[in-house]
């Protein structure tokens, strides 16, 4: 519980009915070597969600090693190779709370820090790329690819909202 929620609870005896206007981003570091990356990725993810207008959402970002990423890529994309970023959307029929103001779960973005470093890529940009997939963007066709690249560029370059 945040200090704002505890403060309101102490003053009024009630929790706020609507969550904060900041999307909730949880990061799990399964590599235990990426603390600086965690902070940058969370900031980029929140900024992208705010800029995209997805304020009432939450998602998880998990930092994994190459072997774990390869297994995930094999499981979800049927590709037996490591990758830098992988998005897994919320399952169909995911039980969203029905009350007004509840956060909507988007899914999970997996990042492979070592793979990203080897390729000289930006973890922040890849987190945004993964989030765009959770928001419905694809790069299946040329038009979709252009639209997604433009959205990614806009969200990566945008100042904090």
Query: Is the CA virtual torsion 69, 71, 72, 74 positive or negative?
Result: positive
Residue 62 phi, psi (nearest 5): -120, 125
Virtual CA dihedral for 18, 29, 109, 57, nearest 10 degrees?
Answer: 0
The predicted pLDDT at position 116 comes to 93
> Count of alpha carbons within 13 Å of 73, Cβ hemisphere only?
17
Mean pLDDT of the chain: 81
The predicted pLDDT at position 65 comes to 92
The predicted pLDDT at position 92 comes to 75
Residues of the chain falling short of pLDDT 70: 1-22, 32, 34-35, 95-102, 158-161
Structure-token match 């038009």, residue found: 143
The predicted pLDDT at position 57 comes to 84
The predicted pLDDT at position 9 comes to 52
The predicted pLDDT at position 1 comes to 44
- Identify which of 82, 87, 77, 157 has the alpha carbon closest to the alpha carbon of residue 116: 82
> Count of alpha carbons within 13 Å of 8, Cβ hemisphere only?
11
| Pair 23, 55: CB distance under 8 Å | yes
The predicted pLDDT at position 78 comes to 94
Q: What are the residue ranges of helices labelled H in the chain?
A: 3-12, 35-52, 66-77, 113-119, 123-134, 142-157
The predicted pLDDT at position 19 comes to 47
pTM of the model: 0.78
The predicted pLDDT at position 31 comes to 81
């Amino acid at each position: 519980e945040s200090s704002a929620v505890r403060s309101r609870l102490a003053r009024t005896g009630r929790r706020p009915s609507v969550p904060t206007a900041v999307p909730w981003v949880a990061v799990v570091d399964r590599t235990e070597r990426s603390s600086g990356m965690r902070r940058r990725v969370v900031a980029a993810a929140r900024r992208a969600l705010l800029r995209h207008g997805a304020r009432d959402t939450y998602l998880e970002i998990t930092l994994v090693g190459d072997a774990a990423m390869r297994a995930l890529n094999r499981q979800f994309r049927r590709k037996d190779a490591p990758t830098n970023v992988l998005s897994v959307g919320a399952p169909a029929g995911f039980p969203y709370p029905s009350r007004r103001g509840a956060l909507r779960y988007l899914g999970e973005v997996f990042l492979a820090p070592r793979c990203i470093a080897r390729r000289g890529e930006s973890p922040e940009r890849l987190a945004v790329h993964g989030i765009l997939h959770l928001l419905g963007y694809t790069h299946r066709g040329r038009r979709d690819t252009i639209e997604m690249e433009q959205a990614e560029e806009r969200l990566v370059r945008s100042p904090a909202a």
